[in-house]
Amino acid sequence: MKPETRYAKSGKVHIAYQVVGEGPLDLVLVPGWVTHLEHQWQEPLQARFLERLASFARLILLDKRGTGLSDRVAEDALPTLEIRMDDVRAVMDAVGSRRAALVGISEGGPMCALFAATYPERTAALVMCGSYAKWMRDADYPWAPTRADHEAAFDAYEKGWGTTSVGLKIIAPSVANDERYRKFWADYMRTGASPGAGVALYRMNVEIDIRHVLPAIRVPTLIVHRSGDRLINVGCSRYMAERIPDAKFVEQEGIDHLPWFGDADAVLAEIQEFLTGARPASESNRVLTTVLFADIAGSTERIAAAGDARWRELLAAYHSRSSAEIERFRGRVIDTAGDGVFAAFDGPARAVRCAQAIQEGVAGLGLALRSGVHTGECEISGDKLVGMAVHVAARISSTATAGEVLVSSTVKDLVSGSGLRFADRGTHVLKGVPGEWNLFTAQAGTRRSASTA
Residue-wise pLDDT tens digits, 379-404: 876 667 888 889 899 999 999 999 99
Do residues 263 and 331 both lie within one domain?
A: no
Alpha-carbon gap, residue 319 to 336, rounded angstroms: 8
* Residue 409 · residue 391 · CB < 8 Å: no
Rounded to 5 degrees, φ, ψ at 420 are: -70, 140
For residue 1, tell me if it sits in a domain: no
Clarify whether residues 270 and 300 are in a common domain.
Answer: no
Domain hosting residue 432, numbered range:
286-452
Q: Which residues pair with 372 in a beta bridge?
A: 293, 406
Judged by average pLDDT, the poorest of 181-190, 275-284, 385-394 is 275-284
Of residues 223 and 286, more confidently modeled: 223
The number of residues making up the chain comes to: 453
- Co-location of 207 and 295 in the same domain: no
Q: What is the DSSP secondary-structure string of 238-265?
A: HHHHHHSTT-EEEEE--S-SSTTSSSHH
Q: What would the mean pLDDT of 197-220 be, rounded to a whole number?
A: 94
Out of 258, 276, 294, a domain closes at: 276
Q: Compute the mean pLDDT over every residue in the chain, rounded to the nearest whole number.
A: 90
- As a whole number of angstroms, the distance between CA 442 and CA 325 comes to 17
Residues 51, 172, single domain; the answer is yes
Q: Provide the residue type at 66 as one letter.
A: G
Inter-residue contact 350 to 289 (CB < 8 Å): no
Q: Report the pLDDT value the prediction gives residue 337, as an integer from 0 to 100.
A: 79
In a domain, 281, yes or no: no
CB within 8 A of 372, min separation 6: which ones?
Answer: 292, 293, 294, 393, 394, 395, 396, 397, 398, 399, 400, 405, 406, 407
319 inside domain:
yes
Residue 453 has pLDDT above 70, yes or no: no
Q: Are residues 263 and 161 in the same domain?
A: yes
- Whether pLDDT at 447 is above 70: no
Q: Say what the pLDDT of residue 445 is.
A: 61
pLDDT value of position 449:
54
Do 262 and 312 have their domain in common?
no
- Pick from 227, 243, 276: which residue ends a domain? 276
Together in a domain, 331 and 236: no
Using left for φ > 0, alpha for ψ between -120 and 50, and beta otherwise, residue 387 falls in left
Q: Among residues of the chain, what percentage have pLDDT more than 90?
A: 71
The pLDDT score that the predictor gives to residue 322 is 93
Mark whether 390 and 359 lie in a shared domain: yes
Closest by CA to 407, choosing from 251, 319, 292, 328, is 292
347: domain CATH number is 3.30.70.1230
**Cα 5 to Cα 37, 70, 243, 416, distances in angstroms:** 8, 10, 37, 55
Please list, in sequence order, all residues whose beta carbon lies within 8 angstroms of the beta carbon of residue 321, skipping any fewer than 6 positions away: 358, 361, 362
- Tell me what pLDDT residue 451 has: 53
DSSP secondary structure letters along 133-178:
SB-S-BTTBTTSPPHHHHHHHHHHHHHHTTSSSSSHHHH-GGGTT-
Identify whether the C-beta of residue 251 lies closer than 8 Å to the C-beta of residue 261: no
Lowest mean pLDDT of 99-108, 124-133, 284-293, 347-356, name the range: 284-293
Whether 338 maps to a domain, the answer reads yes
Give residue 305's pLDDT.
Answer: 72
- What is the distance between the terminal CA atoms of the chain, rounded to a whole angstrom? 36
Please state the rounded mean pLDDT for residues 127-151. 95
Amino acid 377: pLDDT: 86
CA distance 441 to 401: 10
- CB of 38 closer than 8 Å to CB of 5: yes
Sign of CA dihedral 76, 82, 86, 92: positive
**290 and 264: one domain?**
no
pTM of the entire structure?
0.67
Identify the DSSP state of 174. G
Split into its structural domains, the chain has a count of 2
Q: Are residues 417 and 443 in the same domain?
A: yes
Our CA dihedral for 342, 344, 347, 350, rounded to 10 degrees, sits at -40
| pLDDT, tens digit, 9 for 90 and up, residues 36-70 | 999 999 888 898 899 999 999 999 999 999 999 99
The model's pLDDT over 289-322, given as tens digits with 9 standing for 90+, comes to 999 999 998 776 767 676 778 878 888 888 999 9
Q: Are residues 200 and 245 in the same domain?
A: yes
Q: What does the pLDDT look like over 75-126, one tens digit per residue?
A: 667 788 999 999 999 999 999 999 999 999 999 999 999 999 999 999 999 9
3-state secondary structure of 423: strand
* Boundary of a domain, candidates 276, 303, 323: 276
> Are 297 and 173 within one domain?
no
Other beta carbons less than 10 A from residue 1's beta carbon: 4
Residue 173, C-beta contacts closer than 8 angstroms, at least 6 positions apart = 230, 255, 256
**Of the ranges 76-80, 191-195, 238-242, 418-422, which one carries the lowest mean pLDDT score?**
76-80
Question: What residue type is 406 in one-letter code?
Answer: L
**Quick count: other Cβ atoms within 10 Å of Cβ 441?**
16
DSSP code for 49: H
Decide: 224 and 132 in contact? Cβ < 8 Å.
no
Query: Per-residue confidence at 269, pLDDT binned at 50, 70, 90?
Result: very high
CATH number for the domain that contains residue 19? 3.40.50.1820
Report the sign of the C-alpha dihedral through residues 233, 279, 46, 28, in that order.
negative
